[in-house]
């Protein structure tokens, strides 16, 4: 090899240009991933400036999660066709990851908004509010199921949300029908739900109609929630309101932000109508 007319880089110079230590280059040489162009009689290693681009591609593939063994397989069977195939594959992976990150960003934005809104709420106050129509994604019917089956349904519902990318960052809530509430079975849900502000086409949704809702907040464990319902019913009577078709419950503060069950907060939204409309 004629070394006089070509500028070669020492291991130190090449490492500096690539912003790695020399040990990395020694290791790449050892495993046959990136070897110096030649070694002189004293054992000194020399790299070509053209190898910088190969190092950058190796570094890029590493950053994209490709193992050194897989990268080595490529470098030992290089061709324009295999390079193009590899780049298209990695581009698809990046697009998918970007979409996943954008979805996670939206989840975080929603959770921030919900928590900031919660910080402004007086949880001791009961309000009558007119709520807009809302689209909800429902679990399968969970009336008359055992505790073991309930755990199974929650697991199944969460899996559906994740696989179908329907997790919007809103809390998982429970829908209780009018007849159950009248029996005092306040948390005997008929369905679990998650609000869908931007519904995707092709999924079965429940349309929560707009209307008047009496809204209150239960602080503490679920087993004491009947006390809060008693207060809500008293307020309904005072306002001459009757129970509508559904009651919606969802956590505001739960195990994500509180350590003690006594600090949990559940939002209760009771659909109501004027008594003379019954």
Cα 54–Cα 56–Cα 61 angle in degrees, nearest 5: 95
Domain 121-274 has CATH 3.20.80.10: yes
> Does residue 32 come out as left (phi exceeding 0), alpha (psi in the -120 to 50 range) or beta?
left
Question: Helix, strand, coil % (nearest 5) of the chain?
Answer: 45, 25, 35
pLDDT tens track of the chain, all 278 residues?
445 556 889 999 999 999 999 999 999 999 999 999 988 888 899 999 999 999 999 999 999 999 999 999 998 888 999 999 999 999 999 999 999 999 999 999 999 999 999 999 999 999 999 999 999 999 999 998 888 898 999 999 999 999 999 999 999 999 999 999 999 999 889 999 999 999 988 888 999 889 999 999 999 999 999 999 999 999 999 999 999 999 999 999 998 899 999 999 999 999 999 887 66
Residue 210 · residue 244 · CB < 8 Å: no
Question: How far is the C-alpha of 236 from the C-alpha of 42, rounded, in Å?
Answer: 93
Distance (Å, whole) CA 224 – CA 229: 10
Q: Which of 244, 137, 105, 151 is nearest to 201 (CA)?
A: 137
Q: How far is 194 from 197, CA to CA, in rounded Å?
A: 10
From the CA atom positions of the chain, what is the Rg in Å? 31
> Cα–Cα distance between 58 and 22 in angstroms, integer?
16
Eight-class DSSP state of 239: T
CA–CA separation, 142 and 190 (whole Å): 5
b/e per residue 113-133 (b: at least 16 CB within 10 A):
eeeeeeeeeeeeebeeeeeee
Domain boundaries, the chain: 8-78, 121-274
Q: What is the pTM of this model?
A: 0.76
Q: What CATH fold (topology level) applies to the domain 8-78?
A: Multidrug-efflux Transporter Regulator; Chain: A; Domain 2 (1.10.1660)
């Amino acid at each position: 090899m004629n070394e006089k007319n070509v500028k070669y880089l020492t291991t130190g110079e090449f490492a500096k240009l690539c912003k790695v230590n020399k040990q990395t280059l020694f290791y790449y040489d050892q495993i046959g991933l990136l070897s110096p162009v030649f070694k002189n009689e004293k054992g000194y290693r020399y790299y070509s400036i053209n190898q910088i681009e190969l190092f950058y591609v190796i570094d890029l593939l590493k950053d994209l999660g490709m193992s050194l063994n897989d990268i080595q397989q490529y470098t030992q069977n290089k061709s324009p066709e295999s390079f193009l195939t590899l780049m298209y594959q990695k581009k698809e992976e990046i697009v998918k990851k970007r979409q996943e990150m954008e979805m996670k960003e939206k989840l975080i934005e929603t959770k921030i908004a919900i928590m900031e809104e919660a910080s402004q709420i007086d949880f001791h106050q009961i309000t009558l509010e007119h709520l807009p129509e809302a689209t909800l994604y429902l679990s399968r019917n969970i009336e008359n199921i055992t505790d073991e089956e309930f755990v199974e349904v929650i697991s199944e519902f969460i899996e559906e949300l994740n696989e179908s990318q329907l997790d919007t960052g809103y809390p998982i809530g429970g829908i209780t029908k009018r007849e159950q509430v009248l029996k005092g079975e306040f948390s005997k849900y008929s369905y679990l739900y998650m609000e869908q502000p931007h519904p995707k086409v092709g999924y079965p949704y429940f349309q929560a109609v707009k209307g008047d809702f009496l809204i209150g907040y239960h602080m503490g464990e679920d087993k004491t929630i009947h006390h809060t319902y008693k207060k809500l019913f008293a307020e309904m009577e005072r306002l001459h309101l009757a129970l509508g078709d559904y009651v919606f419950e969802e956590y505001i503060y739960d195990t994500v932000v509180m350590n003690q069950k006594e600090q949990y907060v559940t939002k209760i939204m009771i659909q109501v109508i004027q008594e003379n409309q019954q």
